[in-house]
Structure 1
């Protein structure tokens, strides 16, 4: 990549990060997030519409179909900023749906999805901790994030060895809702194929690519939460006093903080490297290896760092009123979305040319 292209990409990423401040101000309070917990739909439909107006839902959709046509690096930068603010709106699953609809040539509710006027979720998952898409016509589709606010569902269905795509209005097939640890919700959908409309005969490869990107972008979201929680913890260590001394001066706590900073640095390097690989055109096993290495690290490191941050805060860290605990709750929910650390480690071992038999 030329220096000019490098500069253009850096400027694009900077602008994306700046635009996120409208939704998740750096260091801002989390009152809005707290107010949305345990409520339906669990997010602000008006703010989701604003995300559409800013072009975020169509960030990875080609310009010819109404999207922004930007890269994975830009999408990861945006997700990182949203993760720092614990933004609950279902942007990641909706960008996955937008990519699938783009693969159909723009059929179905793509224009209104890009505008943020509807929430479209892809109901692909039939069992826990997998990236495989069986496409069973009659099997329940599980783990749909923020499903109580969905307007449409996309159903991949296996037909003749291919993965067809159907559209199903949420009003014709209401999902069963369960609450999640962070105050959001997950849905289980029993497909009603009699009410579904076929959009495409084969979206298998498009869905595989979209799922990989969603896994990587979820890792970037977790990275943003790690950064913010670690920053809060450092501020606490610099101000909390014990035995007449600031506890940040205690060597044992300094060592623990240094370990967490290393986890952050390694996670960032892995996410950015994977995003660059995808933007450079990595396909097949190369794409899967890059994504799995990054998602495995982000999922594992986020849970470790968030737990350590709670402990470093002492008793106050365990109270629900203190914000650092919200980041642990979010990590507990998102670490396994689009594949757990264990799943991605297995996949990396299976597809990476760096691993010898």
Structure 2
């Protein structure tokens, strides 16, 4: 469970209360019909639910109170991300949080309140965790492009990010265009094209914000596979074949144990990574370790879950398939397992 990502009794209790409060928005046993209803539509999210998320104070959870945030740490952020992952919420919680983390003290009040959804545009390659360049600025206007912007059609404002600065632009400003592509889970990403767009320049971004987003995505994958596994266990107990529940067959029991081991290992690595992040130490290696494991484990667990359901598991009507589709989208986001293994091997500093 998400609360297990915290360490220390006092903090564990705080995270547990936070997770319990999230159940009203992101219930682990909730009906997935609302999620299905939003698939392959535009903007692909529920504004009412986004208002609830904002009202709960989830946005800016890592920002200090002096900047309008909650002043909490990575453990709390990861716990919420895990619940969002388990509920398969399409709302871009991690992306909005990334934008706020990148802006820091410059984050506008309407972004923290949820009145305006600010989404970051920072990537120009299909894999990696490196801020793209290629933005030109002249007389308060910027030009260039950013690719793979999740849920871009829902944005009110884009935060265009490069190594030297960030810029806020209105999503409907002159010179802004989107090339949208659907993703397997029913969401979308977009290429953001800028042609002389009026922009507000902010200070250079905090690179640790991307590490936090990678850890949050790993946590979402953990929540996703935990729920997929729970659904599968229920199916093994109720699906009868040859006169008994299929969960009685030893071959399936062995595979189920393998799935639980993968989930447990992911949870343990994530707990270490979250603790390291909150110390302020170099967390790049352990972030890569956690993200690589979460990506690989989520793909294994959700694929096995679909197979355990038999032929029905491969149909679009079966809810279990939604978890596999979301895992296929989240696994490469903020760096694929292959990217993070390579980065881990190339780093010599920081906690392994």
Range class of TM-score, shorter chain: over 0.9
- Indicate the SS of the match to 1:94: helix
Partner of residue 149, structure 1 = 154
Shift of 1:139: 4.1
Q: 1: CA distance between counterparts of 2:287 and 2:257? A: 26
Q: In the alignment, which of 177, 180, 189 is matched to residue 177 of structure 1?
A: 180
For each residue in 1:32-54, what CA deviation from the matched residue of structure 2 results, as whole angstroms up to 9, or x when unmatched? Answer: 10111111111111211221111
Partner of residue 19, structure 1 = 21
Answering whether residue 145 of structure 2 is matched by residue 140 of structure 1, we say yes
- Indicate the SS of the match to 1:177: strand
TM-score (norm. length: structure 1): 0.91
Shift of 1:174: 2.9
Aligned partners of 2:238 and 2:245 also within 8 Å: yes
Q: 1: CA distance between counterparts of 2:168 and 2:195? A: 10
Aligned partners of 2:184 and 2:325 also within 8 Å: yes
Aligned partners of 1:126 and 1:139 also within 8 Å: no
**Residues 148, 194 of structure 1: alpha-carbon distance in 2 compared, 3 angstrom cutoff:** closer
The CA RMSD over aligned residues, in Å, is 1.6
Partner of residue 237, structure 2 = 238
Gaps (5+ residues) in structure 2? 1-6, 136-142
Q: 1: CA distance between counterparts of 2:220 and 2:348? A: 24
**Residues 139, 174 of structure 1: alpha-carbon distance in 2 compared, 3 angstrom cutoff:** closer
Aligned partners of 1:223 and 1:264 also within 8 Å: yes
Partner of residue 346, structure 2 = 350
Partner of residue 165, structure 1 = 166
Aligned partners of 1:57 and 1:114 also within 8 Å: yes
Aligned partners of 2:286 and 2:351 also within 8 Å: no
Q: 2: CA distance between counterparts of 1:49 and 1:224? A: 22
Answering whether residue 251 of structure 2 is matched by residue 248 of structure 1, we say no
Shift of 1:157: 3.6
Partner of residue 193, structure 2 = 190
**Residues 97, 354 of structure 1: alpha-carbon distance in 2 compared, 3 angstrom cutoff:** closer
For each residue in 1:334-355, what CA deviation from the matched residue of structure 2 results, as whole angstroms up to 9, or x when unmatched? Answer: 1111000000001111114599
Q: 1: CA distance between counterparts of 2:227 and 2:351? A: 34
Partner of residue 294, structure 1 = 290
Q: 1: CA distance between counterparts of 2:35 and 2:100? A: 25
Partner of residue 101, structure 1 = 103
Partner of residue 77, structure 1 = 79
Aligned partners of 2:284 and 2:350 also within 8 Å: no
- Indicate the SS of the match to 1:13: helix
Aligned partners of 2:285 and 2:351 also within 8 Å: no
Q: 2: CA distance between counterparts of 1:219 and 1:92? A: 11
- Indicate the SS of the match to 1:83: helix
TM-score (norm. length: structure 2): 0.92
Aligned partners of 2:285 and 2:350 also within 8 Å: no
Following TM superposition, the consecutive aligned residue runs of length 4 or more in structure 1 with deviations greater than 6 angstroms are: none
